[in-house]
Amino acid sequence: MADLFPAGEAETTGIADQALSARLAEAAAAGRPLRIKLGIDPTGSDIHLGHSILFRKLRAFQEAGHTAVLIIGDFTARIGDPTGKSSTRVQLSPEQVEANATTYLQQLGQGQDPERALLDFETPGRLEVRRNSEWLAGLDLPQVIELLATGTVGQMLAKDDFAKRYGSGTPIVLHEFLYPLLQGYDSVRIQADVELGGTDQKFNVAMGRDLQRHFGQRPQFGLLLPILPGLDGVQKMSKSLDNTVGLGDDPLSMYSKLEKVPDAVVDDYLTLLTDLDLAAMPANPRERQKAMALEVTRARHGLVAALQAQADAASLVGGAAGAGAADAEVPEASLAAVNFPAKAFYLLAAVGVCASSSEARRQIQGGGVRLDGQKLDDPNHEFATATELDGKVLQLGKKTFRRLIG
């Protein structure tokens, strides 16, 4: 936990609502579980390990007997959270949002093996999944005006992201001011006792407290959790920065990415993504990396798959040219859509290993591409047919592997 607010103790303040411990004790005495809110806006199709920190905490509340209220921000996603953004976000269509929401729930464990699910979808009373379009889509103009009247322009410009944009002359569109108010109104509608968020969400969570107070409810507590560094070890994990590990990553990709995490942030990963005891971890930095990568992969894919991924990563990266490739369990990439004869740079883009042909050229020229262990150094090297590639392992750096299937 990075921050809990308010954090006062009832014994010293004399106000029970200033202490989460008092709220917990009161709920236990009444036989009432607390309602723990976590909102996610499905603005993309993937959830990464950085997001999983919040879901792990939400699962802990579930296991303590409380009710997790997962809010799918299908309405607010059409606006987009301005937090951390230097410009106005592109608004998504309802169809895009709903498609993303479906994949989010699958990645969180809906319909999956309960042992590997991030959230408990099975136990009655432990989870409510709500879409905030239930209440936001029907707001009329007087209700919107009432929400707007609870905040001030000064409050909004005190938000760091808005302040930077205003100071630099970058436009702030008026509907962006609505976002924290709408997210806060979610807390009113589901009567949240606690809201979880990253440390960058304090403004939005506090807005929920203000709105609950305005509507005559007991204000929620804000429980803020640290933000996971990305694979670069410097910036926060973010898909836009291309430094993520996705929950949907296959075991080999997940393990291979994690075992290359910089030494300086390995303990952050161990603390935020596992229940392992840091004192019991290997002191050797390389072994500590591998232990972390194995445990995170195990939690997502099971021990057998994690051990196989570890063995395959060692043989594919550390072996002689082509050694281990034939037997390794590597995600497949179809060659069906590739037009042959095909140049190497086109091939990498066509099978999805690189986002574009220009990126593929850069990767090949930089020496980061191998085919069955042999370095590809000519972007224009031509492959005549799918047959000569069938079954071979295409490798990008030390983290991405695909077995080509003709």
Q: Name the nearest CA neighbour of 214 among 143, 156, 153, 132.
A: 143
- Residue 270's pLDDT is 97
3-class secondary-structure state, position 3 = strand
Q: Do 118 and 108 form a contact (C-beta atoms < 8 A)?
A: yes
- Cα 260 to Cα 136, 256, 369: the distances in Å are 43, 7, 17
Percent of the chain with pLDDT over 70: 92
What is the C-alpha separation between 46 and 248, in angstroms, rounded?
A: 7
The pLDDT tens digits for 57-80 are 999 999 999 999 999 999 988 776
Average pLDDT, the chain: 88
Tell me the C-alpha distance between 264 and 49, whole Å: 18
Residues in the chain: 406
Greatest CA separation for the chain:
79
Are 43 and 141 a contacting pair, CB within 8 Å?
no
- The reported pLDDT for the residue numbered 320 is 45
For strands 332-334 and 400-405, give the pairing. parallel
Report field, pTM of the whole predicted structure over 0.85: no
Long-range contacts of range 55-58, CB-CB < 8 Å, 24 or more positions apart?
55/108, 55/118, 55/119, 56/118, 56/273, 57/196, 57/223, 57/225, 58/119, 58/196
CA atoms of 153 and 163, how far apart (whole Å): 11
pLDDT tens column, 101-144:
999 999 999 988 888 899 999 999 999 999 999 999 999 999 99
For residue 41, pLDDT beyond 80? yes
User: pLDDT category, 46, cuts 50, 70, 90?
Assistant: confident
Predicted pLDDT of residue 43: 82
Sign of the dihedral defined by the CA atoms of residues 276, 277, 281, 286, in that order: positive
Segment 8-17 shows an average pLDDT of: 55
pLDDT at 84: 56
> 67 vs 315, which has greater pLDDT?
67
In angstroms, how far is CA 155 from the centroid of its own chain?
A: 28
Q: Which residues of 61-82 are buried (b: 16+ CB within 10 A; e: fewer)?
A: bbeeebbbbbbbbbbbbbbbbb
Quick: pLDDT tens for 223-260. 999 999 999 999 999 887 889 999 989 999 999 999 99
**35 within 8 A of 42, measured Cβ to Cβ:** no
One-letter amino acid of 335: L
pLDDT in tens, 197-208: 999 899 999 999
Residue with tokens 């290997």, as numbered in its chain: 282
- Please report the domains of the chain, with CATH numbers, ordered by start residue: 3-225 (3.40.50.620), 249-318 (no CATH), 332-405 (3.10.290.10)
Residue 146 DSSP SS3: helix
Give me the pLDDT at residue 39, please.
Answer: 95
Q: Give the pLDDT confidence of 332-382 residue by residue, as tens digits.
A: 888 888 888 988 888 898 888 888 889 889 989 888 898 888 888 898 998
Q: Is the pLDDT of residue 321 over 50?
A: no
Q: What is the pLDDT of residues 136-172, one digit of tens each?
A: 999 999 999 999 999 889 888 888 888 888 888 888 8
**252 with 330: CB under 8 angstroms?**
yes
Helix or strand run (H / E) with residue 81:
none
What is the pLDDT, as a whole number, of residue 368?
A: 85
Q: Are strands 3-5 and 221-225 parallel, antiparallel or unpaired?
A: antiparallel
User: What is the average pLDDT across 280-291?
Assistant: 95
pLDDT at 294 over 70: yes
